[in-house]
Structure 1
Amino acid sequence: MPVRSHPPRRPVGRRIRPLVRGVAVMAASLAVLSSLAGVAPAAPQPAGDADVDVRVNAQAALGTLSGAARGVNTAIWDAHMNDPEVADLMKAADVGVMRYPGGSYADIYHWETHTAPGGYVAPGTGFDAFMGTVRAAGAQPVLIANYGSGTPEEAAGWVRYANVTKDYGAKYWEIGNEIYGNGHYGSGWEHDDHEDKSPKEYARQVRAYASAMKAVDPTVKIGAVLTTPGEWPDGVVGPGDSGDWNHTVLPEVADVIDFVSVHWYAGGADTTAEDAMGKLAKLPGELREVRNQIDRAAGSGSSDIEIALTEINTNTGGARLTARPNGLFAADAFMTALENGVFTVDWWNTHNGAGRITTVDGETDYGDMGMLSSGACTGDVCQPAPNTPFHPYYGMKMTSELGTAGDTMVATESSTQDVSAHAVLRRDGRLSVMFINKNPDTARTVALDYTGFIPSGSAPEVSRYARGDGDITEVRDGEASASQVTVPPYALLTVTLEPRAGTGPGASNAGTPGTPRVEAVTDTTARLTWDGAPGASRYLVQERDGAHTRLIGESTGTSVTLRNLPPGSAHTVNVLATDSSGRISRPSSPLTFRTSTPTDAACRVTYHRDTSWGNGFVTTVTVQNLSDTPITGWTVDWDWPTAGQSVSSGWSATFHQSGSHVRVTAPEDAGPLAPDGGSTASFGFVGANDGPNPDPTVFRLNGAACSGG
């Protein structure tokens, strides 16, 4: 069972968290794309020196950075939260969001009296003082309305004071913090005075809060708290509930909320730096499942609901938190989340407090989840002066060297796990690429390959944060080129490249198309529409697979019908515009859609999850033959949607899994499946999941796609 302490009752303190867990395409269009698949100038070093390959595809957009992209948490028990140095440091790192009043404290905090019964409130941490820091930093607040011991009327009063009386323009408001931790699932760290602690009651209250708060200011954005798919208590069904937290809350509130709030931590007390950075590979799949759940609950209104990752850090055990590897993690985590559909990523915490003292990479690690020192001590070991930045601060700051509001994140692919890469197409046409070398011992030399970008012959601008650097450092030694870069061990390096004259989106007279929308979808077709771009003569629809793209449709108008798509398949596409000279614009933001299963199939498969406990589940599958002839001897096939899903054991059939593919074979003594649905075959299994656990999307009976799912 997960364990969580009550929020800290002193000015500084650790935050203890749960430990468990075909369209035919004209040759001319292909030629246009090929002509703009950039080739870098020759590297000054021999090609054989490179031991890592990184591909950057400037035609595959992952989304646009917002002004709220980088954020931090603040807490009313933090006596240093409003020090003038805090605003200066946050402004220097281009922080756009500051979250208040501090995690679990939100559910005991009363804004009007600035009290938190049962907790500690530091002097000088009131709402107006906090807003002074927010404004000095050039940021905006994310405010957590008290759900645990508050009321909709109290929250509406806060909106009135903030946005009517004081004209602060506070846009984002969450309803409670981690309310699923109120004891309903057996582990309780979040204060909740409601007699009914179920997700259904939370959903009912969210509607009441949203109504009261928007009656005061209709422009505010209301956020509901979700569990992160694959993280406790995801998948757990509480007593008396019909479903788990997310599948109960979302359908009830999708029409009144504007965003959802999720949290993500990389492990417990024994998580090493390498473990934490490795676990980050799970985050994209978990965020995709958040979006899938929103899509299913909100339908056509899904695009109006954003995702906020309002807390993130590595482990919760109080070690390896201020050291260099957590700085690498911070840079990687911020960009990974933003590239996967999150509009803000908020680090826990600005200051937090000293914890277990260890030595990491030759430096003292203070076991502090804060970005900045609080000046606290553990025994006779004291932190540096208050507001001294720790490594995670510089990791976050390096992401601002990569891109700022309005810039476009684009796809990258690295040939090795210990070097991550992230890229941003700047508004002025330059391309920035950030490399994260997670190897503590060896410098890595990276060979760069580009699609949709042709670098100029000039040397790139280079920013570095490595051993010996006291801040982000501009490198002027000229060793990096557009085609090859050497990244020191345990270091962050960002290169910014100028495009060759007359190339790149800046050379096109066509603007950027709007984000595509699904107008209609079947099992094999999808009709997409988008807002047109000024100066466009033709539109190209590209499908992305990692950092690779392929042209799947084109149109002179603002819609296209894609055909011959596999049933139950997911597709991520961008739209690009070409001007009258064939020069390509920057790509639209991406759209991910999924085809349905056939409605007139000759078979039906029903997949029913009987029970789930977070990292395991029991499922019953029922098969029907809807054709007009009997079937003797059958197989059922499906593919798991995410890594980490598997069949552990089963009954009434034979199971075989290879990679993500599962084949189930009828037992030898099974009779025929009668035609026209006259009989059924049923089998069951115990499954395991390490991460999110979405249902398979398409099943095949003897190779034919079935309806249902």
Structure 2
Amino acid sequence: MLTLICCLALPNLARAQTDQAVYTDALVNGWQNWSWATVNLGNTTPVQSGTDSISVSAGPYQALYLHQTAFDSTPYAALVFWIDGGASGGQLLQVQATLNGAAQTVVTIPALAANTWQQVTIPLSSLGVQNQPDLDGFWIQDRSGTTQPAFFVDSITFTAQPPPSVVNVTVNAAQPVRIVDARHFAVNTAVWDADFDTSNTINLLTSMGAQALRFPGGSLSDDYHWATNTTDSNTWQWATSFDQFAQVATTVGAQAFITANYGSGTPAEAASWVQESNVTHHYGFKYWEIGNECYGSWETDTNTVAHDPYTYAQRFQQYYTQMKAVDPAIKIGAVAITGEDSYANNTNHPVVNPRTGQTHNGWTPVMLATMHSLGVTPDFLIYHRYAQAPGAESDAGLLLSNGTWSTDAADLRQQLKDYLDAAAPNVELDCTENNSVYTNPGKQTTSLVNGLFLADSICAAMNTEFNAVAWWDLRNGQETTNNNSSSLYGWRQYGDYGVVDSVDPAGPADTYPTWYVDRLLQHFARGGDQLVSSTSDYPLVSVCAAERTNGGLTLLIVNKSPNTAFNTNITISGGSPGSTGTLYSYGIPQDNAAESGVGSADIATSPITGLSTNFSYNFPAYSANVIAFGTGASPSPTPTATSTSTITSTITATRTASPTATASRTPTATATSTRTATPTATGTSTSTPTASQTLTATATATHTATPTTTMSVTASLAFGNVAIGQTLAKNLTVDNRGAVHPLVI
């Protein structure tokens, strides 16, 4: 048994990471109420500070439960909150934190005093969640087994650890990790982009160093007909046709991912698209996806059994056979998701994992097992990764979320091994959508934080077997009504999935930090370079290292602290990088310049001296930095022509290539989640505090007093009919991930 003292406050320490507020008159930083007690988040009396507190009326073993998207707890020291026993006091409570939903060590709190605010400080080590990658919540729970009088909680915070005096980065230039793939620097493009086939876009894509493009755009792919450039039954055409996309892609020398229509299309339609692309026009587009997120109810799916992995696998075989008959050189990908029980949309075709003996109905196991029985093997798995849910955005959480790229890669690879057996090693992993939030983009998407996230995400993915990271997307449209909380960094009071807006020509404020950081990355690595081993001993400083094809060494270092410049000691082995180089950086000064119009919003470039196999550098807060060793620095990328197919047969299909729709932005989509034990009560108290005290709490390793109310959580996306956003034609809108819906006003 461990005894701890809950003190009035932690000592005043310099902090590398700011404290993460959980509740300050309301839930902030993406925290959500998942309680199974009766709570009121807007209680007006008593309050410890501000205008509101949380009132909690708990039955036997019920709890105030606050949840967040899983984040790395390493930068945080303690959970701190104020609590008041109300008019009667005497409540017996305990605290537990959760790692990926699993409750950890119980910490008991002494009986609460009546009408007294007391501050409780519990070190994360006592809760069993210190230095963990997946802290996702905590609860304050009745431990008496009886109905408790109302108590009150206020000013909830995770306090930050003090910064290290030195962050240590090590690089082993002689230890290769992998060859960098050009598709690590990819961006989604879309048929609704009326400015796509222009010199402006070509210049933007070239300047940012885009090496791969995806088309025709998200969920819209599952009801898009390439030959007419239309969506299902509509008669108007989209702003950008396939030939216009191809013209831009080949001009900038980018590879391409093309998403064939699974939801309302046919294998023959997809095969004719391959014919048009690679035989008639010799575009040589190599990567073809069968559908977009087909496991999701938000996707168009006209099959008898919709969103069914068994049906998908059977039809995938037909697509695969007919498309490869046209061009055997293409690679065809299948939609997948992590987790063997994810999107178990029905139980029609359960499969048994031959390694574990467990039965699963999830999308990926059923799909892969069915493919195995049919003797068809996809060339790659298609994975989409969004770090956060709308309304649950947290800057700190976002910047600490990329540690799970390796977990995702391992999950998908294990499922391939389990269900495809000998064919598994031949299947590569590609992420063809990546961004911060899966729908309803708020101000975080256009902030410096999302730019840093982009760099860190690509860096993390490169260190796994993922061969592509395609950012969602080039242009999408500004949305002003989503999460613009003051708890999020950034001055743009709107969200936008795009890296640029539609202004032509684009000024500094029209190109978002994600575009500038993409531009920065071309000084770090391009396809064909060698990623080498690198590590950081502190999670707020991430590092990637590469040996360029010209022999030069480069380092990408991201400082994820909003307020601390880190003194970083860099040790390099396995090579002699030289004493001089070039520093490329993007951060707060450039972001501020874009807002004010004063100074340069572009990447800062300066010579750097004093380099060696062991040197120190102070990296500014919230910055992405590339050090290119050597007098020649890192070469600018040279666009290369996309390889072409040598097949010479022709097709007879014709189509109209001139779009008539003028889409320039996309409206929001809605997301819903359902769960039991939703809080509905508004209990209040009129008592007032009379004193402040400290509490002594006890941590125990056993999990006592399990909840008697069962809570199940099922998150689902529902791309709804929304009135905001752009009318594309008559009564249609396209949502912010590409699905088309009737417009409701």
Does structure 1 residue 318 correspond to structure 2 residue 441? yes
Give yes or no for contact 2:209–2:518 (8 Å, CA) kept in 1.
no
What SS does the corresponding residue of 1:476 show, helix, strand or coil?
Answer: strand
Q: CA deviation at 1:361?
A: 4.0
Structure 1 unaligned spans of 5+ = 1-18, 22-47, 182-187, 377-382, 500-612, 616-645, 652-685, 692-709
**After the TM superposition, which residues 614-693 of structure 1 pair with which residues of structure 2 at under 5 Å, given as runs?**
none
Following superposition, the deviation at residue 96 of structure 1 comes to 1.6
Residues 232 and 264 in structure 2, CA contact (< 8 A), matched pair in contact too: no
Contact 2:176–2:531 (CA under 8 A) maintained in structure 1: yes
Q: CA deviation at 1:410?
A: 1.8
Q: Which residue does 2:329 correspond to in 1?
A: 219
- In structure 2, the CA distance between the partners of 1:484 and 1:106, relative to structure 1 (3 Å rule), is same
Secondary structure of 2:454's match?
helix
Residues 479, 229 of structure 1: alpha-carbon distance in 2 compared, 3 angstrom cutoff? farther
> C-alpha distance in 1, partners of 2:476/2:714?
30
Report the Cα offset of residue 69 of structure 1: 2.2
Q: Find the counterpart in structure 1 of residue 603 from structure 2.
A: 472
**Residue 463 of structure 2 is aligned to residue 463 of structure 1:** no
Give CA-to-partner distance per residue, 1:543-599, whole Å, 9 cap, x none: xxxxxxxxxxxxxxxxxxxxxxxxxxxxxxxxxxxxxxxxxxxxxxxxxxxxxxxxx
- The answer for the alignment partner of 2:347 in structure 1 is 239
C-alpha spacing 1:488/1:258, structure 2 compared with 1 (3 Å)? same
Q: Offset of 1:336 from its aligned partner? A: 1.0
Structure number with the bigger relative contact order (C-alpha 8 A, sep ≥ 6) is: 2
Distance 1:160 1:648 in 2: 62
2:262 is paired with a residue whose SS is coil
SS at match of 2:398: helix
Q: Distance in 2 between matches of 1:107 and 1:404?
A: 31
Go from structure 1 to structure 2 and tell me whether the alpha carbon gap of 1:493 and 1:481 turns closer, same or farther (over 3 Å shift): farther
1:666-698 deviations in Å (ceiling 9; x for gaps) = xxxxxxxxxxxxxxxxxxxx999999xxxxxxx
Report the 3-state secondary structure (helix = DSSP H, G, I; strand = E; otherwise coil) of the residue aligned with 1:328: helix
User: Which position in structure 1 is the counterpart of 2:531?
Assistant: 409
- Which of 454, 466, 473 is residue 576 of structure 2 equivalent to? 454
Q: Is the 8 A contact 1:356 1:366 kept in 2?
A: yes
Asked if 1 retains the 8 angstrom alpha-carbon contact of 2:222 and 2:262, the reply is yes
SS in 2 for 1:68: helix
- Matched letter for residue 131 of structure 1: A
The 1:688–1:407 alpha-carbon spacing in structure 2 relative to 1, beyond 3 Å, is farther
Shift of 1:440: 1.2
Partner residue of 2:382?
261
- In structure 1, what is the equivalent of residue 690 of structure 2? none
Measured after TM superposition, the shift of residue 89 of structure 1 is 1.9
Q: For residues 494 and 119 of structure 1, do their structure 2 counterparts lie closer, same or farther at Cα, with a shift above 3 Å needed?
A: farther
Aligned mate of 1:127, from 242, 248, 256: 242
**Corresponding letter in the other structure for 1:199:** P
Q: Are the equivalent residues in 2 in contact too, given 1:64–1:407 (CA < 8 A)?
A: yes
| Change in CA separation of 1:176 and 1:235 when aligned onto 2, cut-off 3 Å | closer
Q: Would the alpha carbon gap of residues 93 and 438 (structure 1) be closer, same or farther in structure 2, given more than 3 Å must change?
A: same
Q: CA deviation at 1:241?
A: 3.3
* Superposed counterparts of 1:57-68, under 5 Å: 57-68=172-183
Q: State the 1:236 CA deviation.
A: 3.6
Q: Give the Å deviation of 1:460.
A: 2.5
Give the AA of the match of 1:491.
Answer: S
What amino acid sits opposite 2:480 in the alignment?
R
Give the match for residue 3 of structure 1: none
| 1:389 counterpart = 2:511 | yes
Correspondence 1:488 to 2:620: yes
2:456 alignment partner in structure 1: 332
1:429-470 alpha-carbon deviations (Å, 9 max, x no partner): 3221111001111111210122322332x2222111122232
Q: Distance in 2 between matches of 1:66 and 1:647?
A: 48
* Paired residue secondary structure (1:104): helix
Helix, strand or coil at the partner of 2:337? coil
Q: Which amino acid aligns with 1:108?
A: D
Question: What is the CA-CA distance between 1:384 and the residue it aligns to?
Answer: 6.9
Match of 2:497 in 1: 369
How far apart, CA to CA, are the structure 1 residues paired with 2:317 and 2:622? 47
Q: Provide, for residues 36-86 of structure 1, a one-character-per-residue CA deviation record: whole Å limited to 9, x for no partner.
A: xxxxxxxxxxxx996210111223322111222211111112222323222
Provide the C-alpha distance between the structure 1 equivalents of 2:305 and 2:510, rounded to a whole number of angstroms.
Answer: 44
CA contact (8 A) 2:69 2:397 kept: no
Find the aligned partners of 1:436 and 1:192 in 2 and give their Cα distance: 41
Partner of 2:304: 195
Residues 581, 607 of structure 2: 8 Å contact kept: no
**Separation in structure 1 between the aligned mates of residue 398 and residue 285 of structure 2, nearest angstrom:** 34
Question: Aligned equivalents of 2:419 and 2:508: distance in 1?
Answer: 45
Q: Distance in 2 between matches of 1:388 and 1:80?
A: 14
CA drift at 1:417: 1.2
> What is the rounded CA distance, in whole Å, between the counterparts of 1:119 and 1:402 in structure 2?
45
Matched to 1:472, the amino acid is: I
1:148 aligns with 2:263: yes
Corresponding position of 2:395: 273
CA–CA distance in structure 1, aligned partners of residues 630 and 503 of structure 2:
43
CA distance in 2, matches of 1:480, 1:690: 52
SS in 2 for 1:369: coil
Q: Secondary structure at the match of 1:290?
A: helix
- The amino acid that maps onto 1:59 is A
Quote the RMSD (CA, aligned, Å): 3.5
- The answer for the alignment partner of 2:353 in structure 1 is none
Kindly tell me: are residues 364 and 304 of structure 1, through their superposed partners in 2, closer, same or farther at Cα, counting changes over 3 Å?
Answer: same
Q: What is the alpha-carbon distance in structure 1 between the residues aligned to residue 602 and residue 282 of structure 2? A: 36
65 and 100 in structure 1: CA distance in 2 versus 1, 3 angstrom threshold: same
Q: Return the alpha-carbon distance in structure 1 between the equivalents of residues 278 and 264 of structure 2.
A: 23
Q: Secondary structure at the match of 1:202?
A: helix
Kindly state the Cα deviation for residue 364 of structure 1 after the two structures are TM-superposed.
Answer: 1.4
* Cα distance, 1:56–1:152 mapped onto 2, change above 3 Å: same
Equivalence for 1:91: 206
Q: Is the 8 A contact 1:326 1:392 kept in 2?
A: yes
Q: Distance in 1 between matches of 2:433 and 2:385?
A: 6
* CA shift in 2, pair 1:304/1:687, >3 Å: farther
Q: How much has 1:386 moved relative to structure 2?
A: 11
| TM-score (ref. length: structure 1) | 0.59
Q: Which residue of 2 aligns with 1:341?
A: 465
Cα distance 1:205–1:462, how it changes in 2: closer, same or farther (>3 A)? same
Note if 1:497 corresponds to 2:497: no
User: Structure 1 counterpart of 2:322, which letter?
Assistant: A
Q: How many residues align?
A: 455
Alpha-carbon distance in 2 for matches of 1:99, 1:140: 9
1:152–1:209 Cα contact (<8 Å) kept? yes
Closer, same or farther: CA 325–479 of 1 in aligned 2, 3 Å: farther
Q: Retained in 2: the 8 A contact 1:88–1:136?
A: no
Give the CA deviation at 1:129.
0.5
Superposed counterparts of 1:528-547, under 5 Å = none
Q: 1:49 to 1:301 in 2, by over 3 A?
A: closer
Letter in 2 for 1:196: V
| CA distance in structure 2 between the partners assigned to 1:690 and 1:57 by the alignment | 44
Contact 1:335 1:399 in 2 (8 A): no
> Offset at 1:237?
6.0
